C-alpha cells in the first residue's frame, strides 16, 4: 500500500477482545493488498474475463490479477460488468436459498450505488418487480445511472425514507437492507477511512440501524424475508441488531446450507474476515417473518395511467410490457405489475419507472439512452455500427464520431457487439446522444 494509517486505539482494543489470539492475524491482514473483483452482467457479457479466477459463492463473479482503468473500458460504461467487492456478492448464495414466489416483489432499501440492486436484477432475470431505493439525492442519481446500464425493465428507482414504505401498506417478499455502518470492512481497501472511525460514530450507526430495521420490518410480507448486511466487523452493528429483531419482532433466523467453510458462521449471520477470505469485511444475515395474513392493497381506480397504443414500440423491445407515459417519457413496465406500479407511484417518490424508452415529440419517438442499454432491446430492428476502442471512447466523451451518414435516422453504436448508445442523423453528421451528465472526462 502506498500510504499507511494506524488503527484507532478503540478499534484495536475491541478487535483484541473480539478475536483473542487471532487478533494480530486479523489486524495484519488489513494491511495486505485488497483483492480486485467484478461481477458480469449475464444478459450482456458472460464470456468476459475468461482466464480469471471464479468467486465460489457467485457464478458471475471474477477475481482480477490487477486493477485495470475501468473508466477507459467501454464495456464498463455499457453495463457488461459491475466492479464490486467479492464479499458483497454472497447475496447470491442467500437469495438462491430462499423460497420465493416465481415473480417476487423485492425492495433494496439502501441501494446506492447499485451493486446489490444490479445483482438482484440478474438473479430475478426479468421476473417479479424490484424497488431500488436511495434517499440521498446525489446518490440516487448514481443509482439510476447504474440501473440504466444494467438494462432491466422490471425495476422502479425510488427516493424514500424507510418509514414511508410502511405507510403504503405494500409488503415485499424480500427486503434487502445493506445498512449504513461504521465501515470497518473498508479499512484494507481504503486505509484513510481508519482516520474517520470513532466509538461515537459506531454508536450512532448502531442507533440508526436499529431505527431502519424497526421501520422497514412491517413492510416484509408474512412468510417473507429480510436480508441484513453491513461492511463492518462490529457485533453491535451486526449480531446485536439481528438478535433484537428476533426477540422483539418475532423474526426467525434462517441458516444457510453448504456455504464456503472460510466464511465464519456467527450465529446469527455470516461474517467475512480478512484473514480468511480475499474480499473485504462483510456481515450478512437472513431472517424470515412468520406466516400470517398479507395486507390487502386498496388499488386506486381513478387516474390509472393510460396504456399507450404505440405499436412501433413493440418492435423495439421483447417481453410482456405495458407502455405508460410518465411526464415526458414513455416507459415500459412489466404488464403483470401495472396496477401495483401505479399504486406505488402515487405513494412513493419514484425517480425512474421501468424502462424509459424515449420521449414522444409530435408523434415521433426520441429514443432514450435507457433503451440502448436494455437487455430487452431488439437490436436487429436498428442499423448498428461496430466500432474500435478509440472511436468508442470518443463517443463516450460525447465528441463527434466520424462515421459516414446514410439514410437511417438512428444508429446504434456497439463495441464488441454490446450497445454503447445512439447516434442521430443530422443530415451531414451524426449527433451524439450519449448522456451529457455521464460523459467520460478521462483521457487515455
pLDDT digits (tens, 9 = 90+) for 256-276: 999 999 999 999 999 999 999
How many CB atoms are located within 10 Å of the residue 311 CB?
A: 8
pLDDT of residue 48: 87
C-alpha to C-alpha distances, 372 to 38, 138, 410, 419, nearest whole angstrom:
22, 24, 11, 6
Give the Cα separation of 157 and 326 in Å (integer): 13
pLDDT of residue 4: 66
Looking only at the bridges linking them, the beta strands covering 270-272 and 264-265 are: antiparallel
pLDDT of residue 403: 94
1 pLDDT more than 60:
no
**Residues 6 or more apart whose Cβ sits within 8 Å of residue 172:** 105, 106, 107, 131, 219, 220, 221, 224
pLDDT of residue 2: 42
30 pLDDT more than 50:
yes
Mean pLDDT of 120-146: 98
Q: Please give the CATH topology (third level) of the domain spanning 299-378.
A: Nuclear Transport Factor 2; Chain: A, (3.10.450)
pLDDT of residue 304: 58
Give the Cα separation of 314 and 334 in Å (integer): 13
Give the Cα separation of 419 and 74 in Å (integer): 10
Give the Cα separation of 167 and 261 in Å (integer): 41
427 pLDDT more than 70:
yes
C-alpha cell belonging to residue 90: 454472497
Does CATH place domain 382-444 in 3.10.450.720? yes
Mean pLDDT of 394-403: 96
pLDDT 10s digits, 76-103: 999 999 999 999 999 999 999 999 999 9
425 contacts 410 by C-beta, under 8 angstroms = yes
C-alpha to C-alpha distances, 398 to 15, 74, 381, 422, nearest whole angstrom:
49, 13, 24, 11
Give the Cα separation of 430 and 423 in Å (integer): 6
Give the 3-state secondary structure of 193-215.
Answer: HHHHCCHHHHHHHHHHHHHHHHH
SS3 189: coil
What does residue 206 show for φ and ψ, rounded to 5 degrees?
Answer: -60, -45
Percent of the chain with pLDDT over 70: 96
The ranges of the chain annotated as CATH 3.10.450.720 are 299-378, 382-444
- Quickly list H helices, 4-73: 9-19, 23-29
175 contacts 288 by C-beta, under 8 angstroms = no
Name the β-bridge partners of 285: 228
pLDDT 10s digits, 372-386: 999 999 989 999 999
Q: Please give the CATH topology (third level) of the domain spanning 9-288.
A: Rossmann fold (3.40.50)
225 contacts 245 by C-beta, under 8 angstroms = no
Give the Cα separation of 303 and 292 in Å (integer): 32
Give the Cα separation of 173 and 103 in Å (integer): 9
SS3 165: helix
The ranges of the chain annotated as CATH 3.40.50.150 are 9-288
Give the Cα separation of 372 and 79 in Å (integer): 11
236 pLDDT more than 70:
yes
What does residue 150 show for φ and ψ, rounded to 5 degrees?
Answer: -70, -30
- Rounded to a whole number of angstroms, the CA Rg of the chain reads 23
Give the Cα separation of 91 and 397 in Å (integer): 34
pLDDT of residue 52: 95
Question: Residue 301 — pLDDT band, cuts 50, 70, 90?
Answer: low
Name the β-bridge partners of 321: 334
CA dihedral 436, 442, 443, 444 (to 10 degrees): -120
Amino acid at each position: 500500500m502506498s500510504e499507511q494509517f494506524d488503527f484507532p486505539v478503540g478499534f484495536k482494543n475491541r478487535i483484541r477482545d473480539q478475536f483473542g489470539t487471532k487478533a494480530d492475524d486479523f489486524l495484519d491482514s488489513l494491511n495486505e493488498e485488497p483483492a480486485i473483483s467484478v461481477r458480469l452482467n449475464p444478459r450482456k457479457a458472460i464470456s468476459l474475463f475468461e482466464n480469471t479466477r471464479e468467486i465460489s459463492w457467485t457464478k458471475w463473479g471474477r477475481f482480477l490479477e490487477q486493477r485495470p482503468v475501468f473508466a477507459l473500458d467501454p464495456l464498463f460504461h455499457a453495463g457488461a460488468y459491475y466492479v464490486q467487492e467479492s464479499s458483497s456478492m454472497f447475496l447470491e448464495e442467500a437469495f438462491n436459498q430462499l423460497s420465493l414466489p416465481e415473480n417476487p416483489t423485492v425492495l433494496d432499501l439502501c441501494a446506492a450505488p447499485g451493486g446489490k440492486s444490479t445483482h438482484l436484477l440478474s438473479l430475478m432475470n426479468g421476473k417479479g418487480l424490484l424497488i431500488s431505493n436511495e434517499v440521498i439525492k446525489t446518490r440516487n442519481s448514481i443509482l439510476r445511472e447504474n440501473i440504466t446500464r444494467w438494462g432491466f425493465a422490471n425495476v422502479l428507482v425510488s427516493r424514500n425514507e424507510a418509514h414511508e414504505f410502511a405507510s403504503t401498506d405494500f409488503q415485499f417478499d424480500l427486503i434487502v437492507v445493506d445498512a449504513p455502518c461504521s465501515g470497518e470492512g473498508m479499512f484494507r481497501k481504503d486505509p484513510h477511512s481508519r482516520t474517520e472511525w470513532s466509538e461515537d460514530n459506531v454508536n450512532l450507526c448502531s442507533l440508526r440501524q436499529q431505527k431502519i430495521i424497526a421501520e422497514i420490518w412491517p413492510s416484509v410480507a408474512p412468510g417473507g424475508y429480510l436480508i441484513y448486511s453491513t461492511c463492518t466487523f462490529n457485533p453491535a452493528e451486526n449480531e446485536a441488531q439481528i438478535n433484537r429483531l428476533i426477540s422483539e419482532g418475532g423474526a426467525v433466523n434462517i441458516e444457510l446450507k453448504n456455504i464456503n467453510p472460510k466464511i465464519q458462521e456467527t450465529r446469527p449471520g455470516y461474517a467475512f474476515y480478512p484473514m480468511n477470505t480475499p474480499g473485504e469485511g462483510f456481515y450478512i444475515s437472513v431472517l424470515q417473518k412468520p406466516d400470517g395474513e398479507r395486507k390487502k392493497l386498496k388499488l386506486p381506480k381513478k387516474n390509472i395511467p393510460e396504456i399507450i397504443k404505440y405499436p412501433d414500440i413493440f418492435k423495439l423491445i421483447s417481453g410482456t410490457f405495458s407502455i405508460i407515459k410518465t411526464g415526458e417519457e414513455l416507459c415500459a413496465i412489466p404488464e403483470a405489475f401495472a396496477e401495483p406500479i401505479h399504486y406505488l407511484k402515487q405513494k412513493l417518490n419514484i425517480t425512474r419507472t421501468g424502462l424509459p424508452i424515449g420521449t414522444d415529440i409530435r408523434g415521433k419517438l426520441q429514443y432514450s439512452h435507457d433503451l440502448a442499454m436494455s437487455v430487452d432491446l431488439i437490436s436487429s430492428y436498428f442499423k448498428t455500427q461496430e466500432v474500435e476502442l478509440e472511436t468508442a471512447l470518443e463517443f463516450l466523451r460525447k465528441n463527434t464520431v466520424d462515421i459516414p451518414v446514410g439514410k437511417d435516422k438512428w444508429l446504434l453504436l456497439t463495441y464488441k457487439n454490446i450497445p454503447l448508445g445512439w447516434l442521430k442523423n443530422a443530415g451531414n453528421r451524426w449527433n451524439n446522444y450519449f448522456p451529457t451528465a455521464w460523459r467520460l472526462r478521462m483521457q487515455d
